[in-house]
Amino acid sequence: MNKLISMEEAVNLVRDGDTVMVGGFLGVGTPERLIDALIEKGVKDLTLICNDTAFVDRGVGKMVVAKMFKKIMTSHIGTNKETGRQMLEGETEVELIPQGTLVEQIRAGGYGLGGVLTKTGLGTEVEKGKLTINIDGQTYLLEKPIRANVALLFAERADEKGNLTFHGATRNFNTYMGTAADISIVEAQEIVKVGEINPDDVVVPGIFVTHIIDGGAL
């Protein structure tokens, strides 16, 4: 199976109303060219799952400015004033999730787990409407798995089978999101032949990657 596709083919896999996971931390490790193409296409009514909403002029923040989301599930919005404005004005639903909980929910969705138990959020707004479980005298919140229709990821290098490597902090949520989506699209800074990546350096195996687009050198 040839996993290499064009940018046009990639954006056409994202449809109005989809739930979309996007890698990145303050825009670092975000598939910027793919985001720009989606903004140009004008996809709407998306649900975003992302570590944060970056900045108004970078990462998923540009999609926030374009009002492409009906709901945002994220760990913080403090660096993007537009996200906060849309939340306060009731234009976009924003669900704030503790960062560690969010990544564990994604991991549970990718690994077929029924959920994760955590003390984080007990006695706060986070607990409202959720099931609590007592184990050996300790109370935990049950946080359910999270999955998406499409994961949009970034990698430093990908081989033609989709085996991925990352540079530094760019790996962030990119390493889990590909496991928890029906379709995963990777914008790779460099694409190489199979065998050019040492197996010991592979962070995300190609089985979790559906499609690859050439992001070119940054």
Q: What is the mean pLDDT of residues 124-129?
A: 90
- 85 in any annotated domain: yes
Q: Residue 1: which pLDDT band, with cuts at 50, 70 and 90?
A: confident
- Does residue 138 lie in a domain region? no
Please give the residue that has the higher pLDDT: either 218 or 167: 167
Token pair in block for residue 188: 């790779």
Residue 218: the pLDDT is 44
In-domain check, residue 170: yes
Range of the domain at 74: 7-100+147-213
Mean pLDDT of 151-178: 95
In a domain, residue 137? The reply is no
189 within 8 A of 217, measured Cβ to Cβ: yes
Q: Are 215 and 188 in contact (CB under 8 A)?
A: yes
Establish if 119 belongs to a structural domain. no
Degrees (nearest 5) of the Cα angle 154, 98, 18? 50
Inside any domain, residue 73:
yes
Q: How many CB atoms lie within 10 A of CB 84?
A: 15
- Domain count across the chain: 1
The model's pTM is 0.92
Q: How far is CA 75 from CA 21, 78, 97, 175, in A?
A: 13, 10, 5, 17
| Residues in the chain, total | 218
pLDDT at 215: 83
What is the rounded average pLDDT of the residues 9-18?
A: 96
Judge whether 163 lies within some domain.
Answer: yes
Q: What is the DSSP string of 155-184?
A: EEEEETT--EE--GGGGTTHHHHGGGEEEE
Which CATH number covers residue 69? 3.40.1080.10
111 part of a folded domain: no
